[in-house]
Amino acid sequence: MAALERVFYSPAGQSLAKRAGVPQAQQLRRGRTWPSGPIVLAPLGSPTLVRDALIALGREFHHPVIDTPGETPPGYGARIGAIVVDATDVSTLDALEGLRAVLRPALRSVEASGRVIIVARPADGDWEAHAVARSLDGINRTVGKELRKGATANLVYVDKSASSADVQSTLDFLLQGRSAFVDGQSWYVGTSGTGPQPTDPPLEGRVIVVTGAARGIGASISRILSRDGATIVAVDIPAAGESLAAVANEVGGTALHLDVTAADAGERIAAHVAQRGLRLYGIVHNAGITRDKMLVNTDADRWSSVLQVNLAAQLRINEVLLKKGTAGGLQDGGRIVGIASTSGLAGNKGQTNYAASKAGVAGLVAAMAPDLAERGITVNAVAPGFIETDMTARIPFVQREVFRRTNSLAQGGSPDDVAETIGYLLDPASAGVSGQVIRVCGQNLVGA
Amino acid sequence: MSHEAVIVGGNRIPFAKAGGRYAEASNHDMLTAALDGLIARFGLSGQRVGEVAGGAVLKHARDFNLTREAVLSSALSPDTPACDLQQACGTSLEATVYIANKIRLGQIDSGIAAGVDSASDAPIAVSDPLRRILLKASAARSTKDRVAALARIRPSHLAPAAPSVREPRTGLSMGEHQALTTKSWGISREDQDALAAASHGNLAAAWDEGFFDDLVTPYQGVTKDALLRPDTSIEKLAALKAAFGGPDGTMTAGNSTALSDGAATVFLADAQWAKRHHLSALARVVDAEVAAVDHPSGADLLLAPVAAAGRLMARQGLSLDDFDLVEIHEAFASTVLATLAAWESEDYCRGVGLDGPIGTLDRKRLNVTGSSLAVGHPFAATGARIVPTLAKLLHRKGAGSRGLISVCAAGGLGVVAVLEAV
């Protein structure tokens, strides 16, 4: 199988694959980078929300080209980097024509790794308005599938109470390379009592615990959060200590050897933080395992070990860290991020136990978010799709190649893509984003 | 202003049998790994530490600056100074004392004591005749002279000279020396095997409990001390053949330490400095003493710590009952047993200049999480293994708990130290 893979990825194999029509993966724009072409702002009607946010972000923007009846549709003449549609005033079916008219010329011109961003209001008002809010989602998902060369489409529903400051971190994330593998998604941005409190760098001096930090996505999360200024407490099982030490030292953090399923795991995390005179800002519950088997072959042990590590452990740890007065517990205005999975959202053959735990994470953040809003604590999750890690590298080549390509970007994501999305959720400026599950899957065909 | 030296913590890699899992690792590699685990545990990455003192007993010539080079390979700030220090098996306990003394003098705020040894990667030298011939050949002015010089190489010259673990002045190996001590003190085979079995049992229990989770960082896929035999027993040990002391000898491979590979570190700091940096202290270094015996004239090679312990306890006004825990390095089971017997012996203690016997130790306080027989004994690393282990145990018992460390060493040396929980 390894030989087949080598042939497929050899220059000759690739040129053959290209001629055979196998989609070629575009190198994605990543990191804290902006589109290279201009950003186009298309307000439908006269809303100012997005305009104000772009001004606050210091981004220049241009007028849209509007599609007009005629033989040749008008174009931009050059590549554009992104189009941001402010559809917050759109509530009728007729108004959707305005969206079509700005998207048609833009889709012709959007650059590689360009962006289509639609900002709208959550469903509200009469029946038609509800239908329209959902129509926008259908449009967004379809545009995501039609875009090529690593360009993405995403939809943000912004609550009426939210200010332009509340959406800044979201627009920042979506326009930048950080959202490279987030495609065809929609989520809600609201407001919070504390309001967004942006700092630069965003996580400067903030202590964040990352479980399962010794390798793969956990190591990436530690690096990306540290790049953004965070002080990392890297947690992993004692047996992973050697690579955990390497990660902790690389990011200038501390290592804590701990099995998250230990009865006193929460207490030990709090004690580690308190002992070092630190205040805990956030925790990323990244530790997770798989014990795949068809349900007919899944015994109680396989069942419980996965549920314990992936879900029960974070419930117990959260409870300790959220208890008022716990030294080293989560501070008000803090952040909790869990890791769900597209397998959890859509189900996946051979992964009942895993799907149970990962879907459970999605349920958990939805429930916790409103309860913790008063304390300014946000609770969110990311749901990775096919990510290139040591774990997925063990999937047989042909199967892996299929998994990797069955999404709108025709490639697997990198651990950094998951980490960047987590960084966005942890950003103090993302105070209005809570109870959300953001898929980082390149718009995988699997998982609604 | 007075300064107090406290032990903040430690880190070691699991120890392994020589030629085993770390056969390909050098002293430099293992010491760097042990340092990196310590750095990660205490968030010292990129930080400058006052000084790192460490060493190895079996050392390549290229490792003339072993500790400094390991610091440069580690995540510590390259501005961290280091020195190599060696006192046979007492190396890293002596290094701990050295760092603690500097802290107490206010010369440094923090420091790391360390030790490493690889019996797998022991330096192999060329024989003396071969060395002389090669020197002559390289000094030769003509090809003819050079060929003539090299022509004198004989096959026997090519045998590599492995490092000897023999005492230079007696020609006896350590085991042979200890066999003499074992015999003259009348240490029985049964007692030795029982002590070895207890060492394995105690170490296994400590691992099971997770005691080492914040003292050890796995290395090269080894997550536990590889020499540990949790299932050993007095019966199994009794079946082994004698290794030292002739056919009637009582010392076996089971009740003697195996040649081992490993590295260990201790993080020490000034008490106030530690507080300011939010590092919690486990125990303070109270005092230490080194002694030596005249083994070329027949003294028991490995009993030098007896005199050291007696003098130290007298200086501190402490008696054996004042110690909650005692760690005696298990070079051989019979070393520990002979040490305990010597502590009880009026004659022996007076003979080494003490006022009287040290006393009888309640064995329940001895090596409670196992010692070198079960863990292994990479010579220079043993002190730095024991110090954080004992500090953690004392800290658990509560402030004021006292512990004694006794380490014997080649050359008739003995190092002892007293720790007190804070």
Delineate the domains of chain A, giving CATH numbers in brackets. 39-189 (3.40.50.720), 207-440 (3.40.50.720)
Q: Identify whether the C-beta of residue A331 lies closer than 8 Å to the C-beta of residue A281.
A: yes
Whole-number pLDDT of residue B160: 64
Distance, CA of A81 to CA of A33 (rounded, Å): 11
Span B379-393, mean pLDDT? Answer: 98
Whole-number pLDDT of residue A75: 86
Contacts of A234 in chain B (CB under 8 A): 40
Q: Identify whether the C-beta of residue B10 lies closer than 8 Å to the C-beta of residue B38.
A: yes
- Amino acid of residue B283: A
∠ at Cα B316 (B311, B318), nearest 5°? 90
Q: HSE on the CB side for B94, CA within 13 Å? A: 25
Residue B323 is assigned to a structural domain of this protein:
yes
Which residue, A150, A68, A71, A88, is CA-closest to A116?
A150
Residue B382 is assigned to a structural domain of this protein:
yes
Report B:13-52 residues touching A (Cβ under 8 A): 33, 36-37, 39-43, 45-46
Q: Identify whether the C-beta of residue B262 lies closer than 8 Å to the C-beta of residue B116.
A: yes
Which residue, B251, B372, B293, B308, is CA-closest to B94?
B308
Interchain pair A239, B223: CB under 8 A:
yes
Q: Say whether pLDDT at B382 is over 70.
A: yes
Distance, CA of A435 to CA of A157 (rounded, Å): 13
Torsion of CA A9, A11, A13, A16, to 10 degrees: 130
Interface check for A100 against chain B (CB to CB < 8 A): the answer is no
Structure tokens that stand for A38 in this block = 């201009």
Residue B70 is assigned to a structural domain of this protein:
no
Crossing angle of helices A216-227 and A415-426, rounded to 10°: 50
Interface check for A234 against chain B (CB to CB < 8 A): the answer is yes
Q: What's the DSSP call for residue B166?
A: B
Q: How confident is the model at residue B1 (pLDDT cuts 50, 70, 90)?
A: low
Contacts of B209 in chain A (CB under 8 A): none
Interface check for A239 against chain B (CB to CB < 8 A): the answer is yes
Interchain pair B278, A276: CB under 8 A:
yes
Shortest CA gap B42–chain A (Å): 6
Distance, CA of B33 to CA of B24 (rounded, Å): 14
Whole-number pLDDT of residue B154: 81
Whole-number pLDDT of residue B163: 59
Residue tagged 């397998």 (tokens): A343
Residue B406 is assigned to a structural domain of this protein:
yes
Shortest CA gap B227–chain A (Å): 17
- According to DSSP, the residues that pair with A272 across neighbouring strands are none
Which run of H or E residues covers position B55? strand B51-55
Which residue, B224, B225, B228, B233, is CA-closest to B198?
B233
Q: Identify whether the C-beta of residue A182 lies closer than 8 Å to the C-beta of residue A421.
A: yes
ipTM at complex level: 0.88
Beta strand ranges found along A276-429 (DSSP E) = 280-285, 330-339, 378-384
Residue tagged 């011109």 (tokens): A109
Pairing, β A207-211 against β A280-285 = parallel
Q: How confident is the model at residue B162 (pLDDT cuts 50, 70, 90)?
A: low
Residue tagged 């400058």 (tokens): B48
Residue B198 is assigned to a structural domain of this protein:
yes
Torsion of CA A426, A428, A430, A433, to 10 degrees: 70
Span B20-36, mean pLDDT? Answer: 96
Whole-number pLDDT of residue A194: 66
Structure tokens that stand for B191 in this block = 């007692």
Mutation test of the interface with chain A: which of B47, B208, B215, B223, choosing the one with the most A Cβ atoms within 10 A?
B223
Interchain pair A253, B45: CB under 8 A:
yes
Whole-number pLDDT of residue B25: 95
Span B9-23, mean pLDDT? Answer: 96
- Amino acid of residue A212: G
Structure tokens that stand for B240 in this block = 């082994």
- Condensed to tens digits (0 to 9), the pLDDT of residues B322-331 reads 999 999 999 9
Structure tokens that stand for B11 in this block = 């880190």
Residue tagged 């083994």 (tokens): B295
Q: What CATH number has the domain bearing residue B322?
A: 3.40.47.10
Q: Percent of chain B at pLDDT above 90?
A: 86
Structure tokens that stand for A394 in this block = 């063990």
Chain B residue with minimum CA distance to A274: B278
Pairing, β B110-118 against β B402-409 = unpaired
Interchain pair A255, B37: CB under 8 A:
yes
Catalytic residue among B89, B295, B329, B395: B89
Torsion of CA B268, B270, B276, B282, to 10 degrees: 50
Distance, CA of A302 to CA of A310 (rounded, Å): 12
Q: State how far the alpha carbon of A147 is from the alpha carbons of A280, A383, B22, in Å.
A: 41, 22, 53
Annotated active-site residue B89? The verdict is: yes
Shortest CA gap B143–chain A (Å): 53
- According to DSSP, the residues that pair with A407 across neighbouring strands are A444
Chain B residue with minimum CA distance to A232: B43
Which residues in chain A come in under a pLDDT of 70?
Answer: 1-2, 23, 193-195, 447-448
Interchain pair A255, B210: CB under 8 A:
no
Q: How many CB pairs under 8 A join A and B?
A: 68
Q: Is B160 exposed, middle or buried (0-12, 13-18, 19+ CB in 10 A)?
A: exposed
Interface check for B216 against chain A (CB to CB < 8 A): the answer is yes
Interchain pair A242, B40: CB under 8 A:
no
Distance, CA of A76 to CA of B268 (rounded, Å): 67
Domain that holds residue B313: 174-210+286-421
Shortest CA gap A396–chain B (Å): 25
CA A133, chain centre distance (Å): 22
Residue tagged 């040290």 (tokens): B358
CA B421, chain centre distance (Å): 22
10 Å Cβ neighbour count for A61? 18
Annotated active-site residue B83? The verdict is: no
Distance, CA of A16 to CA of A301 (rounded, Å): 47
What is chain B's mean pLDDT, rounded?
Answer: 94
Distance, CA of B220 to CA of B227 (rounded, Å): 15
Distance, CA of B358 to CA of B293 (rounded, Å): 17
Shortest CA gap B41–chain A (Å): 5
Contacts of B280 in chain A (CB under 8 A): 275
Number of domains making up chain B: 1
Which residue, A84, A95, A164, is CA-closest to A133?
A95
Q: Phi/psi of residue A32, each to 5°?
A: -85, 65
Interface check for B275 against chain A (CB to CB < 8 A): the answer is no
Distance, CA of B421 to CA of B396 (rounded, Å): 8
Structure tokens that stand for B228 in this block = 């540990």
Q: Is B298 exposed, middle or buried (0-12, 13-18, 19+ CB in 10 A)?
A: exposed
∠ at Cα A59 (A55, A60), nearest 5°? 95
Pairing, β B260-270 against β B5-12 = antiparallel
Whole-number pLDDT of residue A1: 52
**From A122-126, B47-51, B155-159, B240-244, the region with the lowest mean pLDDT:** B155-159
Is the bond preceding residue A23 a cis peptide, omega within 30 degrees? no
Interchain pair A248, B42: CB under 8 A:
no
Contacts of B75 in chain A (CB under 8 A): 249-250
Whole-number pLDDT of residue B164: 61
